[in-house]
């Protein structure tokens, strides 16, 4: 299933309870329950906040508001894991790695978070598209690994 969601309204998942990652998020496998909280009360930026650990939260953003040509191709396994039957039930987020200067912040295009809004199930998937990397500038350009700061230098996050 290819998901290219141009939805302007945020699906009814924030504020209505917990989103469940059955296998956790890579690197945080023990964390399985999260809340989606709009940053400053509005989209396209959110906190993906652990429901069990108040110190763990990710900044995430809606890709289709920032990148018009971004596409998510889900595998059959991803669809089964998420119990996803219809494209419109998928809500896509990208994890952002913040930096001191916003123009140095990056987003992970290679591994979006896919949320089944009906079942409240989520998974961070790895896309097979070689054009996407784990570090794209917010303006959509790829980060040159030979001329960029590390994630630790840029700030906490994934």
Domain that holds residue 100: 2-154
Residues 141 and 118: their CA atoms lie apart, in Å, by 33
29-58 mean pLDDT: 90
pLDDT tens per residue, range 108-146: 999 999 999 999 999 999 999 888 999 988 765 555 544
DSSP H helical ranges for the chain: 76-82, 151-154
Reading the block at residue 99, the tokens are 């930096």
- The CATH number of whichever domain residue 132 belongs to comes to 2.30.290.10
Q: Band the pLDDT of 66: cuts 50, 70, 90.
A: confident
Number of structural domains (the chain) is: 1
The values of phi and psi at residue 57, to 5°, are: -155, 150
Helix runs in 70-125, H state only: 76-82
Summarised one tens digit per residue, pLDDT across range 79-109 is: 999 999 998 999 999 999 988 887 788 999 9
What is residue 100's predicted lDDT score, i.e. its pLDDT? Answer: 87
């Amino acid at each position: 299933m290819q998901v290219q969601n141009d939805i302007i309204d945020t699906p009814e998942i924030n504020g209505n309870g917990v989103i469940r990652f059955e296998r956790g998020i890579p690197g945080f496998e023990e964390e399985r329950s999260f809340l989606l909280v709009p940053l400053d009360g509005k989209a396209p930026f959110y906190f993906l906040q652990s429901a069990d650990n108040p110190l763990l939260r990710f900044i995430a953003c809606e890709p289709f508001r920032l990148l018009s040509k971004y596409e998510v191709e889900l595998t059959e396994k991803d669809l089964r894991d998420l119990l996803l039957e219809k494209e419109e039930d998928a809500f896509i987020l990208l994890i952002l790695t913040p930096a001191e200067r916003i123009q140095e912040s990056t987003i992970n295009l290679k591994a979006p978070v896919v949320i089944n809004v009906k079942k409240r199930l989520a998974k961070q998937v790895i896309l097979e598209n070689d054009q996407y990397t784990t570090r794209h500038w917010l303006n959509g350009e790829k980060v040159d690994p030979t001329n960029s700061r590390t994630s630790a230098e840029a700030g906490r996050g994934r």
